Amino acid sequence: MKAYWVIGIVMAAGLRAQSPDCTVNVYVESGPMPVGMLSDAKVKATQMFRGIGLNVPMRNGIPSHEPGDGCGAPIVVKLENLSGYRGGSDALAYAEPYKRSGTCIHVFIDRLMLRLDHDAFFSNALLAHVMVHEITHVLEGFQRHSDEGVRKAAWSEHDYESMKRHALPFTPDDVDLIRRGLAKRVARATAH
């Protein structure tokens, strides 16, 4: 496991050296949830991305119609109750990473609340991990999952317990795919 962390740190250093100098703006449309949960989760998610050298500020509300900042269109995260979703019954969220004009991520607050064990820190950590997982789909540009870390298709009970103590890591492959996806976003943004 230690070798896994060392490789992740080396890959993160590589992302810092090679990533485009840009900011990925994320706007969060809040739904019904416990007070403080969203603000803490946004801070934690921003820190998780910062750990791999990526600036992903999270703002409340909806984006303005202003052009992007050179790193592509903003990403919108909608916190809502399940409505009309046809995917898996255990999904906590979904993203559509193929949209060129940015994307909208849907996080199911009602399902998330069912998963919680009334531990306020865990609720913030779980929401942060769900947002980071889905935002990474958008940044990579396709639907794929990793065998380990924040990008697993389904987290185990061990993963949920680990989230209470520290952020689940990105795999080296995910860091590389994020870097490649950012380069594509920058190329699309500067082509217009």
Residues 38 and 28: beta-carbon distance below 8 Å:
yes
Confidence (pLDDT) at 85: 66
Confidence (pLDDT) at 175: 95
- DSSP states of 39-81: HHHHHHHHHHHHTTT-B--EEES---SS---SS-SPEEEEEE-
Dump pLDDT digits (tens) for 28-65: 988 777 767 888 899 999 999 999 999 999 988 888 75
Residues 62 and 27: beta-carbon distance below 8 Å:
yes
Sheet holding 58-60, edge to edge: 58-60, 26-29, 75-80, 103-108, 93-94
Number of helices and strands in the chain (H, E): 6, 5
Report the distance separating Cα 55 and Cα 16, nearest Å: 10
Confidence (pLDDT) at 14: 46
Vertex 85, ends 111 and 156: CA angle to 5°? Answer: 45
Domains and CATH numbers, the chain: 21-81+88-180 (3.40.390.10)
* Bridge partner list, 105: 77
Single-letter residue type at 19: S
Is pLDDT larger for residue 186 or for residue 97? Answer: 186
Confidence (pLDDT) at 5: 43
Dump pLDDT digits (tens) for 50-106: 999 999 999 888 887 555 555 777 888 988 887 666 666 678 888 876 655 557 888
The average pLDDT across 158-186 equals 91
**pTM of this prediction exceeds 0.95:** no
Band of the pLDDT at 188, cuts 50, 70, 90? confident
pLDDT higher than 60, residue 18: no
Confidence (pLDDT) at 47: 95
Confidence (pLDDT) at 8: 45
